[in-house]
Amino acid sequence: MKFSNTYLFYPDNKALERAIASSIGMLGDELVKAATPDNKVTVADNFLYTRGNFEQHRFSSNILECTREALERSLTDEYRDQEPFAWAATQNSLGNILATQGQQRRDVELFEKAIQCFNNALEVVTQEKSPIDWAATHYNLGTAKQALGRQQDDSQLLKASINAYTNALLEWSRKETPEEWSSVMHQLGATFHTHGKLLKGNRTFQKSVVAYKNALAVLDADNYAFELAAAHNNCGAVLHNLGEAEENSDRLGESIRSYETALTVCMEQQLPIHLAVLCKVNRSTARNVLAELTNDTALADEVADEFELIVECFPHALQPLCLKHCEEQMNKAKSLALAVGAQL
């Protein structure tokens, strides 16, 4: 079946930000100045949080290539022999930067190089000698495989991503490392969701819902506002697709409530307005599916009005494809209301 288009949120990649920050000292003064991001806001910037796991907002993307080159030059055999754990940390940094470029360019080879970097690090960083670093490296490996698997619609890569995240959970626990544990749960939710859409598998969707709810168990609005909104929104998207797969109005109702909770967090915590708008788009899309499933003309009329309001009031928060989606959903709701009304 064809699932509805939904907009997911990706939390900041802290490992990537640390990789860039720790590498800046290897560059000259002029390049360091270039690391400052351009603060001009464009429509494209409104979708930074929806483009994938390897977006970051602290540094300019202009610095990635020179940082990558500096890291590659430093990874000598002598460095590995003298400082193996520092060498492994550098492999992790390089892997995250390569994956970022791979995501930007949709370049499979760069992703594969990133994955090799993480595997190189795991040759040195073992679970016995350095369990926390071992877990962090598996987390990075899982994220790179998830991103490539999503790009390539590759179920084997997604399975490998799940295995890597599961390894990270052997050392990261809710009690001892709650923030890291929650991050893994969020990423497992995202991976199971993507895998479920490929498999058309309801059990895989259900695993995704469980993972997102685990992530939510340690998040609060004061300390993790964006992560909380993202987990509610993304859990809503899984429930949305599960409701479509099962033709289940109760699942769709759960989905709508998850989107509404995400919207509330966005508004109350004053997150960027485009995030609230995308929650509205997701919620109205789910309501449209529910109206079609239940032949509810009143709901279809409401949904058409919702999309018309979004298009008219928030054009600055919508990229062309999202605007097209909203217009298509609005027309679909209007047609449904007319078609069902004519039958009554």
> Is residue 272 one of the residues assigned to a domain?
no
Name residues whose C-beta falls within 8 Å of residue 339's C-beta, 6 or more positions apart in sequence: none
> Is residue 106 one of the residues assigned to a domain?
yes
CA distances from 80 to 89, 91, 171, 182 (A): 11, 10, 25, 32
The token pair at 73 is 């030059």
Q: Count other Cβ atoms within 10 Å, centred on residue 83.
A: 12
What integer pLDDT is reported at residue 10 of this predicted model?
95
> Is residue 75 one of the residues assigned to a domain?
yes
The rounded distance, in Å, linking the Cα atoms of 138 and 167 is 7
> Is residue 339 one of the residues assigned to a domain?
no
CA geometry: angle at 237 spanning 8 and 308, to 5°?
Answer: 80
What integer pLDDT is reported at residue 26 of this predicted model?
78
Exposure of 292 in the CB half-sphere (CA atoms within 13 A): 20
Closest by CA position to 225, among listed 187, 174, 268, 283: 268
CA distances from 329 to 218, 272, 282, 299, 303 (A): 35, 24, 11, 13, 8
> Is residue 93 one of the residues assigned to a domain?
yes
Domain that holds residue 113: 1-193
Quick check: helix, strand or coil at residue 153?
A: coil
pTM: 0.93
Q: Per-residue confidence of the chain (344 residues) as pLDDT tens digits?
A: 789 999 999 999 999 999 998 888 777 655 555 556 544 444 445 567 888 999 887 888 888 999 999 999 999 999 999 999 999 999 999 999 999 999 999 999 999 999 999 999 999 999 999 999 999 999 999 999 999 999 999 999 999 999 999 999 999 999 999 999 999 999 999 999 999 999 988 999 999 999 999 999 999 999 999 999 999 999 999 999 999 999 999 999 999 999 999 999 999 999 999 999 999 999 999 999 999 999 999 999 999 999 999 999 988 878 889 999 999 999 999 999 888 656 65
Quick check: helix, strand or coil at residue 292?
A: helix
> Is residue 110 one of the residues assigned to a domain?
yes
Give, rounded to a whole angstrom, the gap between the first and last alpha carbons of the chain: 29
CA distances from 53 to 4, 18, 320 (A): 21, 14, 22
Phi (first) and psi of residue 67, to 5 degrees: -65, -45
Name residues whose C-beta falls within 8 Å of residue 276's C-beta, 6 or more positions apart in sequence: 263, 266, 267
**Residue 17: which CATH number?**
1.25.40.10
Given 3-state DSSP classes, what are the helix, strand and coil percentages for the chain, each rounded to the nearest 5?
A: 75, 0, 25
> Is residue 91 one of the residues assigned to a domain?
yes
Find out whether 229 and 192 touch, Cβ atoms under 8 Å. no
> Is residue 160 one of the residues assigned to a domain?
yes
What integer pLDDT is reported at residue 2 of this predicted model?
87
The rounded distance, in Å, linking the Cα atoms of 306 and 60 is 36
Find out whether 283 and 257 touch, Cβ atoms under 8 Å. no
Closest by CA position to 108, among listed 145, 66, 55: 145
Question: How many independent structural domains does the chain possess?
Answer: 1
CA geometry: angle at 337 spanning 333 and 343, to 5°?
Answer: 145
